Chain A
């Protein structure tokens, strides 16, 4: 008999051995604020864990900062330099002010992606609500910076130049929609990459068991796929951060 499980609202949830089981949110304790269910869950545990780990990693690496860095210190320093250079290249020197935010964002996503590759862990960034919340913070922040810096002139950003006046209203609407797609495409990209990769790993993991001795082939494939997943984890964190810089650059310099 097929084991069926239901969540508290009666929706069927993924079965015990489904490749999607890894994305399940499990509540740890109950906590309600008004009508909202704000119970602590496995995703939140990993988020808190990642933040604690990164804090330890950054502070611990620089605690005995030496002129000639050791291994730990040089990892911390090179991640600092990587992000600093990225901001400088894409958003110019004016973007340096926003380094703390972008660095935090990059390190959080990177760490979440990499932690997710370890078996039996939860991948925080494979849930669109998490990535969308991050993208929404970026989007709202960047829009706010744009208005704070340029005032109402920022609205010119939505007016394409060199267009006949008749076409203008239509094009402005399209430009506004195109601007609003930014948080969506930003979050969908990260979420889709993480979720697709992890589902694929689990599907092939299922083949290993069901194929018996021939399962060595999918096992070899998983090894290769895990390597690819590490690249994807790095690349998607980078893409998220670099797009944040590009949006920041748009808001600062209005191209």
Chain B
């Protein structure tokens, strides 16, 4: 009877059913904790010495999309706005509006490219940092 009980306990996960009633051993002090502390200390020291910015900007896809759209749209808005103002000042409508709208679009696209480049650089840096070789997408 007793042995069946023991085996049953073994089946559901207690390696030694008999020990179940005894007090749980305290977590072994010393070695493992010290190791993890050393590891964390080393990581913190490395991070403190590293002068590169730890950029966490726009990790999510939505963040990237919002950023790029904001860059493009603000280029158009600023370009169009400048053109409209010049036209209003010199009564040349719509010459400058058209010209500056196109220039603004160019500036916007340029900003998008710059932002994308910067994001790629940040991602490459992050990839470099965790050299465990996580899956690339």
Contacts and interface: CB of A to CB of B under 8 A. Distances in A.
B35 interface: no
A170 B99 CA distance: 11
Interface residues of B, number: 28
Point out which of A177, A192, A235 has the most chain B C-beta atoms below 10 A from its C-beta. A177
A160 to B, nearest CB: 10
Interface stretch (B18-26, B37-45, B104-112, B126-134): B104-112
B136 interface: no
A174 B74 contact: no
A213 to B, nearest CB: 31
Contacts of B108: 178, 181
Interface stretch (B3-11, B53-61, B87-95): B53-61
Interface in A165-205: 170, 173-175, 177-178, 180-181, 184-185, 188-189, 192-193
Contact of B74 (A89, A175, A185): A185
**Which of A89, A178, A189, A235 neighbours the largest number of chain B CB atoms within 10 Å of its CB?**
A178
A107 interface: no
A242 B53 CA distance: 10
B111 A178 contact: yes
B78 A189 contact: no
B107 to A, nearest CB: 4
Nearest to B53: A89
A189 B67 contact: yes
A248 to B, nearest CB: 13
B52 A181 contact: no
B78 A184 contact: yes
A193 B77 CA distance: 18
Contact of B107 (A174, A192, A235): A174
Interface in B40-91: 51-58, 63, 66-67, 70-71, 73-75, 77-79, 82
B67 A89 contact: no
